[in-house]
Structure 1
Amino acid sequence: MSQAVATRDEASEVLTALLIPLADRQLLLPNTAVAELIAYRSPITSDGMPDWFLGQIAWRDLSLPLLSFELASGGSQPPREDVRVAVLNAIGGRPLLKFIALLVQGIPHAQKVSSDLPRADVALAPLELDAVQLGEQVARIPDLLALEQLLADAGLIE
């Protein structure tokens, strides 16, 4: 019986995550953070917005803010080849913000991860909580609450 308990405990430590490719890095998010991956659609833009705010896109009868994580965290403008949009579940509890759209480069890949992932010894950019080593590559853990706060601080959401 203790063997069955140990197996269940070990299984609970494994999480399905998504490795999200960006132009200059890979993000690692829990599978549940991503509501849907959709084809890129041109956003509705406005003058005077921060460069990381790419505009609003329509999704399921909603208007979502489309962001460039690279620009928001001090990186460079992402290339526009093979881009898609990851619709992320908002986690900050704001009544008018349920989802955020994030520009991604390519197709996210499912990745089984355990709680004992080795940390990567790399400098973190703004909006990154941590970095982990996944084999040969480094994956960054984004600060989704800070991303939502960035939208609020820019006056783009309430």
Structure 2
Amino acid sequence: MSGNNSVSSALVPLQQRPLLLPIACIIDVLDYRRPEETDADISWFLGNTHWRSQNIPVISFERLNQRQFAEFSATNRIMIIRRTTEECSIPYYGVVIQGMPQTQTITEKDIIDSSEETGPAEKMQILFKEVPVILPDLGFIEEKLSEVLAPAVS
């Protein structure tokens, strides 16, 4: 972003800090249903859910980011994200979220680097309108998903 450019984004509620994502990444938000378990024994990979005649892998961002992820609640939803890298072996994946994303228009002046230490799945932590939020590293998330799903895809 430079000058007066703005980006349509979504503030996505999680159990701890919300994520801030470009709205173009978000394809759908589903009511939560427990993902079908798989043989993968990885805490952040929760299994698959059925969406538009496809099996979509579902993750916990908090667990992938090495943070605590409490039990599921009545406000849980699954946000479907379109992949952002060609290296990712799947076109879509789901992330468990806590409620509905809120549409925001952001400009460079709305963002202040919080200079906090980031987790492995974070690009950075910022203050957006004085609220601490996470800019996720979607490339890292997609790389990890591709590693887990590689045996199933090949």
Matching residue of 1:38? 30
Q: Does 1:92 align with 2:85?
A: yes
Match of 1:138 among 128, 132, 142: 132
Cα offset, 1:154, TM superposition: 2.5
Asked whether the equivalents of residues 82 and 93 of structure 2 are also in contact (C-alpha less than 8 Å), the reply is yes
Asked whether the equivalents of residues 90 and 146 of structure 2 are also in contact (C-alpha less than 8 Å), the reply is no
Q: Does 1:66 align with 2:74?
A: no
Match of 1:113 among 106, 109, 112: 106
Q: Does 1:149 align with 2:122?
A: no
Distance 1:66-1:59 versus aligned 2 partners, 3 A rule: same
Letter in 2 for 1:35: I
- TM-score, structure 1 normalization: 0.86
Distance 1:103-1:95 versus aligned 2 partners, 3 A rule: closer
Query: How large is the RMSD of aligned CA atoms in angstroms?
Result: 1.7
Matching residue of 1:124? 118
- What number of residue pairs does the alignment pair up? 148
Q: Does 1:77 align with 2:69?
A: yes
Bigger-Rg structure (1/2): 1
Among the aligned pairs, what percent are the same residue?
Answer: 24
- TM-score, structure 2 normalization: 0.88
Matching residue of 1:26? 18
Unaligned runs of 5+ residues in structure 1 are: 1-8
Asked whether the equivalents of residues 28 and 81 of structure 2 are also in contact (C-alpha less than 8 Å), the reply is yes
Distance 1:36-1:48 versus aligned 2 partners, 3 A rule: closer
Cα offset, 1:29, TM superposition: 0.1
Runs of 4+ in 1 over 6 A off after TM superposition: none
Cα offset, 1:94, TM superposition: 4.5
| Partner secondary structure for residue 38 of structure 1 | strand
